[in-house]
Amino acid sequence: MNLLKGRIGALYWGGSLLALTAFGCGAKQPSQELVNARSAYERASTGQAAELVPADVYTARKSLERAEKAHEDDANSFEARSRAYIAERKAMSAIAKAQSREARRQVEAAEQQRLSVLESQRDSARLTLDETSAELERVRREMQTGNEELRNQLAQRARELEARQRELEDARRQRERAEQQVTAAVESLRQVGMVRSEARGTVLTLSGSVLFPFGKAELFPAAKQRLDQVATALANIERPVEIEGYTDAIGSDANNLALSRERANAVRDYLIQRGVPSEKLKARGLGETNPIASNDTAEGRANNRRVELVFPRAGQRQTSAEQRRPAPTERGSEPGEAAGWSDAPAESDSAKEQQK
Amino acid sequence: MACGSASIPHGKLADSEAAISAAEAAGANEVPRASLHTKLAKDQLEKARGEIKDGDTEEATLWIERAKADAELALSMARSQADQQRAQQALAEVEELRSSSAEQGDR
């Protein structure tokens, strides 16, 4: 708006000056200096100078008016030409000053832009920094959580391992104790019978002829003394002992099996009577199977008639028939039920006899 | 002329000399258009001094005024040139800063 007003004002002034020149002193030919001065003023008053440096444009106008007047007075005088010369330079000076002002305005604008760019750079850097800090904090928290989980897992694993270690240690001690118990028991029984070591454990063999009369399942009184020693030895043993009855090959398998079972039960019953807990004793009859000597000679048959006490090796839960030493002759034809362990002494004949 | 008997314009002479000095101090000699006007100013001051010697103070005063107008124009032109250079430089700097900022933004 100001610019427009300035321009209109300048045009008006210029127009009035031209009118003055045209009608007031039309006859006089303007000097080159005056032509230049008018032209320069025209440029100053219609350009940006009118708005930017109005005081200088005004000065230029006064100077031009003075030149016009001098021209009126004496068109070709040195003074008239000098006034026009000066007026031209005042107008040019106003234009140059306007250019200066415009340039300084541009510098200010540039400075403003520079500040705003720097500000936005700073803001963006601050934003990036904030984002990075937040990310860092997040990662740090994750790491802490991760560490905690890891520590917990490791601690849990360590506890499990310790428990397992204790279990193994306990088991080892138990095994050692059992081993020692068996060794001690067996040592004390060397006078009672023959002791030998097998894969399934330590085996104490009691001669049948020492324990029972021929074909019977009732213990000799002398046999009872030996079994008292066995009962004493078993008092210190934790693991169950297996009592196995065997016969020679004379007579039918069924009879031999029944006899061997009765004899095994007789030994078991006596030992229970002497204070050995029943759950520590298992008895079964195996008849003429697993002979340890030839049945062709009287001596061999005597050896085969026997009762074996098996002290299972530590770490072995139970001895199965398959784990036994290989039999020198073919095995018994009916190991099925007959070979099963008898834990019920009430069913045995000897127990019935004892109850009578 | 009535004013022909005026006294010698030592004050105006000094003013014009000062204007020339100011123009030169503002770097007018390095700006071709401006240096033309300082030269004109100096020549006209010489003419003024000649007129003073000849006793024509009226003409001398006009030469002095002309010289002053040239010297002041030279000063305006020198300043204008310097200001415009500064403006160009400032704009170029902003442009550079802006493009480097845009590059950073692209990363």
pLDDT surpasses 50 at A30: yes
- Nearest CA to CA, how far is A97 from chain B (Å)? 6
- Nearest CA to CA, how far is B25 from chain A (Å)? 17
Chain B contact for A78 (CB, 8 A cutoff): yes
SS3 label, residue A328: coil
Other Cβ atoms closer than 10 A to A97 = 25
Beta bridge partners of A310: A203, A242
Please state, rounded to an integer, the average pLDDT across all residues of chain A.
81
Confidence band of A218 (pLDDT split at 50, 70, 90): confident
Residues A67-104 pLDDT 10s: 999 999 998 899 999 999 999 999 999 999 999 999 99
CA torsion, ordered A144, A148, A149, A153, to nearest 10 deg = 150
pLDDT surpasses 50 at A356: no
Chain B contact for A129 (CB, 8 A cutoff): no
Give the full edge-to-edge strand order of the sheet including A241-246: A194-198, A201-207, A306-312, A241-246, A281-285
pLDDT at position A182 is 76
pLDDT surpasses 80 at B101: no
* E strand or H helix at A264: helix A253-273
Residues A180-215 pLDDT 10s: 877 777 777 777 788 888 888 888 888 887 888 888
Inter-chain contacts counted by CB atoms under 8 A, chains A and B: 79
Which among B83, B93, B105 has the least Cβ separation from residue A124? B105
Chain B contact for A113 (CB, 8 A cutoff): yes
pLDDT surpasses 60 at A26: no
CA A326, chain centre distance (Å): 53
Nearest residue in B to A115, CA atom: B94
Please state, rounded to an integer, the average pLDDT across all residues of chain B.
90
Chain B contact for A82 (CB, 8 A cutoff): yes
Is the Cβ pair B87, A97 closer than 8 Å?
Answer: no
CA pair distance A266, A281, nearest whole angstrom:
12
Closest CA to B36 of A98, A44, A81, A89: A89
Write b or e for each residue in A206-217: b if 16 or more Cβ atoms lie within 10 A of its Cβ, otherwise e: bbbebbbeeeeb
Residues in A touching B106 (Cβ below 8 Å): none
Chain B contact for A272 (CB, 8 A cutoff): no
pLDDT at position A347 is 40
Which among B77, B87, B101 has the least Cβ separation from residue A103? B87
Which among A93, A110, A124 has the least Cβ separation from residue B72? A93
pLDDT at position A215 is 82
pLDDT at position B22 is 96
Closest CA to A310 of A205, A207, A214, A225: A205
Is the Cβ pair B101, A117 closer than 8 Å?
Answer: yes
pLDDT at position A137 is 94
Phi-psi region of A296 (alpha: psi -120 to 50; beta: other; left: phi over 0): alpha
pLDDT at position A22 is 46
pLDDT at position A314 is 65
pLDDT at position A345 is 43
Residues A316-343 pLDDT 10s: 544 444 444 444 444 444 444 444 454 4
Chain B contact for A235 (CB, 8 A cutoff): no
ipTM: 0.90
Residues B24-77 pLDDT 10s: 999 999 999 999 999 999 999 999 999 999 999 999 999 999 999 999 999 999
- Nearest CA to CA, how far is A50 from chain B (Å)? 16
Using a CB–CB cut-off of 8 Å, the residues of B that contact A are 37, 58-59, 62-63, 65-66, 69-70, 72-73, 76-77, 79-80, 83-84, 86-87, 90-91, 93-94, 97-98, 101, 104-105
Residues in A touching B87 (Cβ below 8 Å): 102-104, 106-107, 110
Q: Can you give the C-alpha Rg of chain A in angstroms?
A: 67
Chain B contact for A138 (CB, 8 A cutoff): no
Confidence band of A178 (pLDDT split at 50, 70, 90): confident
Q: Which of B43, B76, B98 to mutate to test the interface with A (most CBs of A within 10 A)?
A: B76
Residues A144-166 pLDDT 10s: 888 888 999 999 999 999 999 99
Under 8 Å CB-to-CB from A11, ≥6 apart: which residues? A45, A46
